Copies of this chain bind each other. A is one copy, B any other.
Amino acid sequence: MKHFSDRLIEAIKAKKSVVCVGLDPRLDKIPEFIRKKYFKKLPLKRGVHPKFPLLAASEAILEFNKGIIDAVADIAVAVKPQIAFYEMFGAEGVNCFIETIKYAKSKGLLTIADAKRGDIGTTAEAYAKAFLGKVDVGAEFGGAETEIFGADSITVVPYFGFDGIKPFIEECKKNGKGMFILVKTSNKTAGDLQDLIVEKENATAEKSGNAGQPVYKIMAQYVESWGANDIGENGYSCVGAVVGATYPQQVVELRKIMPHTIFLVPGYGAQGGTAKDVEGCFNKDGLGAIVNSSREIIFAYEKSEKGETAYAEISRAAAEKMRMDIAAVL
């Protein structure tokens, strides 16, 4: 498989787009005509099997997602399903997550499993294989090496240090996959940990050349170095960074620290980030980042007069507007 960063950059060039659509399907915001279709199958009058509503919810979400995916497939370069909104419907929801990834890939979209996974080495290895590689499902007994989530990339937390990162890098290298490590997140209290200033007299920090800097810059330094051994043809590594659009000044600094790192930029749209805010995420060639918007695209129908049955075309228009807005500043 081709290097993840090259696959991503080719898609960016082909579609003239850096748009990533976040598939965060809150059930109560799925158009009612879709929800009704699946829930009306339930034997409501008598005792409902506890799995039935979970299945109905998951099927409704999958139909909704497919509508969005069809509508944005030639505008967006990637989709980013947030697994929390699937896990909340149990095993049925996880199945929906897997089917969503499969469908998006079949429509030529790159997929980012927004799972924020991370753990000590052996556990991180299990996650890495499940999301980016293959798992041995009893091959000696007639089972097989099986792709489980089949995502093109995953978001990862850095709290465990390199131990928790290495197994993901290995799967990336092996399978042409990618990862995005949390560096500077888009939320208000991101600074509780990420903005702590690190002392100059600090063995670890001194080595990284970032002493006197906030934690998020040290993380940025780590990310750039962790990816340094696996650079694709376009000059970017398989180890990307999550950098929130809601902190535009810090974005500019981070771009300098991580020249070979692809940024996944959340916080656009509903969270307050604008096209101007994300400008700094890009290198001079206009590459190096993709920008995610979730609610403002997938639930755009809520602000439209066309009504919920037109949700997909309304989402398409919202994605196209975002593509153009960002193109205008690049």
Q: Which residues of B contact A187 (CB under 8 A)?
A: 120-121, 160-161, 163-164
CB distance from A245 to the nearest CB of B (A): 13
Verify if A14 is at the interface (C-beta below 8 Å from B): no
Which of B159, B160, B197 is the one whose CB lies under 8 Å from A201? B197
- Count of chain A residues with a beta carbon within 8 Å of a chain B beta carbon: 86
Query: Which of A50-58, A69-77, A319-327 lies at the interface with chain B?
Result: A50-58
**Residue of B whose beta carbon sits closest to that of A129:** B88
Contact with B along A150-180 (1 / 0, CB 8 A): 0000000111111110000000000000000
Q: Do B198 and A130 have beta carbons less than 8 Å apart?
A: no
CB distance from A173 to the nearest CB of B (A): 19
Q: Which residues of B contact A199 (CB under 8 A)?
A: 197-200, 212
Q: Do A143 and B91 have beta carbons less than 8 Å apart?
A: no
Contact with B along A45-63 (1 / 0, CB 8 A): 0001010111011001000
Q: Do B84 and A130 have beta carbons less than 8 Å apart?
A: yes
CB distance from A32 to the nearest CB of B (A): 9
Which of B24, B40, B159, B189 is the one whose CB lies under 8 Å from A161? B189
Binding site for B on A (CB under 8 A): 24, 27-28, 35-36, 39-40, 42, 44, 48, 50, 52-54, 56-57, 60, 82, 84-85, 87-92, 94-95, 98, 116-121, 123-124, 126-127, 129-130, 135-138, 141-144, 146, 148-149, 157-164, 182, 185-202, 204-205, 212, 215, 218-219, 222
- A-B contact sample (14 more), CB < 8 A, given A44-B141, A157-B157: A27-B138, A53-B138, A53-B141, A54-B146, A56-B138, A90-B130, A116-B117, A116-B118, A120-B185, A158-B159, A161-B194, A196-B196, A196-B198, A197-B201
